[in-house]
């Protein structure tokens, strides 16, 4: 299995002015690298930057507060304007299937049982029992103690097991406890870990602490991918979202994620826009390609496609794949299937046409 191979960024702003990123490898256990990549080069740049900032809390603060601010009204307007894009029918089918392939099918309830998780995994492998051409989802997302169940249920499939950890959703526990949580998940076989940042630390300005925790968790992840949940609903301002996104990326995140889904508002189009802009800028700065996961409150295929449009117009086509963009959702899947069915058959599906789980 490869270590984190990063790609260099070829930003083409010359003749066409268009930003292009060379597609490269995203360390996925069973995919191969596509295109050229220079192993480690981007990582070195990120590492250097990190080293500079790591010297002091005040340097880190200066850096974060020196990032351009985000005007909320402007960001909301841009997101709303992108939401009016309408895509062609043939592209729509592709987009719906891609969205399915990007879903992290989620159950994160106190009442989760092995039975519930097994059911979820079956759905994840074969979203539409009546149509094998529907791709499986990207991953299931569950609590750490149910990882073994999911691993068994998903054996032999391409669907990953993502586990939340670090005292999800609040993150209010000691670092030792949070790391133990991560190790348990990884030991049980989780392919991906979805951690939460310490919002209390962030909002009281202890950026260094937030950064260190991300780094510690990344380390504890071993080979597993790290998604860092910012919990944008608690951060409130877009400026905070941008800064927290940078902290996560500097700390080694493979993905930055909007929300736990337990706090409202969760994912919104403008928040996704701001996070994608941060990811784009970070890639320019360091060469590292970080993914974005939007989670919480995304129920309709229409919404999902709007997110994909924003991805396309902010960071470009390179991010339109499960290794760089995910939807954390549960009911979204069936709406994607409904819309896909309509595209293929030309008529609307019934309410019981798809399995509830």
Partner 1 sequence: MSDERLAVRKTYKLYIGGAFPRSESGRSYVVVDSDGAFLANAAQGSRKDVRDAVVAARKAQPRWAGATAYNRGQVLYRVAEMLDSRRSQFAEAVASSEGTSQEEAAASVDAAVDRWVWYAGWSDKVAQVAGSSNPVAGPFFNFSVPEPTGVVGVVAPQASSLLGLVSVLAPVLLTGNTAVVIASETRPLPAVTLAEVLATSDLPGGVVNLITGRVAELAPVLAAHRDVDALDLAGAPASLLVELERAAVTNVKRVLRPGAAESDWTEAPTPRRMLAFLETKTVWHPIGL
Partner 2 sequence: MTESYPTHKSEGAVGAGPVDQPRGIDDPPGRLVAADRPEQIFEYAPAPESRSIVHLRSSYGLFIDGAFVEPVDGNAYKTENPATEEVLAEIAAAGLEDVDRAVEAAGRAQKTVWGPMSGAERAKYLFRIARIMQERSRELAVLESLDNGKPIRESRDVDVPLAAAHFFYYAGWADKLDYAGFGPNPAPIGVAGQVIPWNFPLMMAAWKLAPALAAGNTCVLKPASTTPLSALLLAEIIQQADLPPGVVNVITGAGSLAGAALVAHPGIDKVAFTGSTEVGKDLQRALAGTGKHLTLELGGKAANIVFEDAPLDEAIEGIVNGIFFNQGEVCCAGSRLLVQESIADTVVERLKRRLATLRVGDPLDKNTDLGAINNAAQLDKIRELAAAGEAEGAVRWSPSCTLPDRGYWFAPTVFTNVSQAHRIAQEEIFGPVLSVLTFRTPEEAVAKANNTVYGLSAGVWTEKGSRILWMAGQLRAGVVWANSFNRFDPTSPFGGYRESGFGREGGRQGLGAYLDV
* 3-class DSSP assignment, residue 292: strand
Handedness of CA 269, 258, 102, 3 (dihedral sign): positive
* Residue 156 beta carbon to partner 2: minimum distance, rounded to whole angstroms: 12
Query: Which parts of 115-174 interact with partner 2 (CB under 8 A)?
Result: 133-136, 158
Residue nearer to partner 2 on the CB measure, 34 or 236: 34
* Cβ(10)–Cβ(20) below 8 Å: yes
Q: Tell which residue, 230, 239, 237, has the closest CA to residue 257.
A: 230
Q: How many CB atoms lie within 10 A of CB 32?
A: 7
What tokens does 192 get? 């991906």
Distance, CA of 193 to CA of 139 (rounded, Å): 11
Q: Verify binding: residue 238, partner 1, rule CB under 8 A.
A: yes
Q: Verify binding: residue 34, partner 1, rule CB under 8 A.
A: no
Residue nearer to partner 2 on the CB measure, 91 or 177: 91
Distance, CA of 239 to CA of 293 (rounded, Å): 19
Given 43, 160, 178, 257, which residue is catalytic? 257
Q: Verify binding: residue 236, partner 1, rule CB under 8 A.
A: yes
Which of these segments, 23-31, 213-221, 231-239, 304-312, binds partner 1 (CB under 8 A)?
Answer: 231-239
257 among known catalytic residues = yes
Residue nearer to partner 2 on the CB measure, 179 or 304: 304
* Residue 355 beta carbon to partner 2: minimum distance, rounded to whole angstroms: 19
CA-derived radius of gyration, the chain:
19
Residue nearer to partner 1 on the CB measure, 76 or 313: 76
Which of these segments, 51-59, 153-161, 179-187, 230-238, binds partner 1 (CB under 8 A)?
Answer: 230-238
Q: Verify binding: residue 71, partner 1, rule CB under 8 A.
A: yes
160 among known catalytic residues = no
CA angle (197 as vertex; 192, 200 as ends), nearest 5: 160
Which of these segments, 7-15, 67-75, 224-232, 300-308, binds partner 1 (CB under 8 A)?
Answer: 67-75
Q: Verify binding: residue 308, partner 2, rule CB under 8 A.
A: yes
Q: Verify binding: residue 73, partner 1, rule CB under 8 A.
A: yes
Q: Verify binding: residue 69, partner 2, rule CB under 8 A.
A: yes
Q: Verify binding: residue 103, partner 2, rule CB under 8 A.
A: no
Residue 227: which H helix or E strand, with range?
Answer: strand 225-229
Could you please report the per-residue DSSP string of 125-194?
H-S-TT-TTSPP-SEEEE-GGGHHHHHHHTTTSS-EEEEE-SSTTT--S-HHHHHHHHHHHHHTT-SEEE
281 among known catalytic residues = no
Distance, CA of 331 to CA of 312 (rounded, Å): 24
Q: Verify binding: residue 76, partner 1, rule CB under 8 A.
A: yes
Please identify which residue in 39, 50, 93, 180 interacts with partner 2, judged by CB under 8 A: 93
* Residue 205 beta carbon to partner 1: minimum distance, rounded to whole angstroms: 17
Q: Spell out a b/e string for 120-140, using b for 16 or more CB atoms within 10 Å of the CB, else e.
A: bbebbbbbbeeeeebbbbbbb
Q: Which residues would be at the binding site for partner 1 (CB under 8 A)?
A: 71-74, 76, 236-238
Hey, which residues are catalytic here?
A: 194, 257, 293
Q: Which residues would be at the binding site for partner 2 (CB under 8 A)?
A: 13, 15-20, 30-32, 34, 68-71, 73-75, 77-78, 84-91, 93-95, 97-98, 101, 133-136, 158, 274, 277, 308-309, 312-313, 316-317, 320
């Amino acid at each position: 299995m490869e270590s984190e191979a990063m790609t260099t960024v070829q930003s083409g702003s010359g003749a066409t002015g268009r930003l292009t990123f060379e597609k490269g490898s995203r360390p996925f256990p069973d995919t191969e690298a596509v295109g050229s990549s220079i192993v480690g080069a981007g990582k070195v740049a990120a590492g250097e930057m990190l080293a500079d900032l790591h010297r002091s809390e005040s340097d880190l603060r200066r850096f974060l507060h020196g990032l351009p601010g985000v005007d909320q009204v402007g960001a909301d307007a841009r997101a709303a304007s992108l939401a009016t894009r309408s895509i062609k029918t043939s592209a729509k089918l592709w987009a719906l299937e891609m969205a399915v392939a990007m879903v992290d099918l989620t159950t994160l309830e106190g009442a989760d049982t092995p039975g519930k998780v097994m059911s979820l995994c079956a759905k994840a492998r074969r979203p539409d029992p009546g149509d094998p051409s529907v791709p499986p989802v990207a991953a299931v997302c569950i609590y750490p103690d149910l990882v073994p169940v999911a691993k068994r249920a998903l054996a032999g499939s391409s669907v990953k097991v993502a586990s939340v950890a670090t005292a999800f959703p609040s993150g209010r526990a000691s670092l030792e406890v949070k790391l133990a949580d991560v190790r348990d998940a990884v030991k049980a076989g989780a392919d991906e870990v979805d951690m939460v940042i310490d919002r209390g630390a962030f909002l009281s300005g202890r950026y260094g602490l937030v950064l260190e925790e991300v780094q510690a968790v990344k380390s504890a992840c071993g080979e597993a991918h790290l998604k860092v949940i910012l919990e944008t609903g608690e951060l409130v301002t877009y400026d905070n979202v941008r800064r927290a996104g940078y902290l996560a990326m500097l700390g080694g995140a493979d993905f930055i994620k909007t929300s736990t889904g337990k706090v409202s508002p969760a994912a919104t189009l403008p928040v996704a826009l701001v996070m994608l802009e941060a990811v784009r800028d970070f890639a320019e700065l360091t060469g590292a390609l970080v993914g974005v996961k939007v989670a919480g409150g995304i129920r309709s295929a229409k919404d999902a496609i709007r997110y994909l449009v924003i991805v396309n117009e902010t960071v470009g086509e390179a991010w339109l794949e499960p290794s760089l963009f995910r939807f954390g959702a549960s009911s979204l899947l069936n709406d994607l299937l409904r819309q896909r069915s309509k595209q293929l058959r030309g008529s609307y599906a019934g309410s019981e046409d798809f399995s509830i789980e």
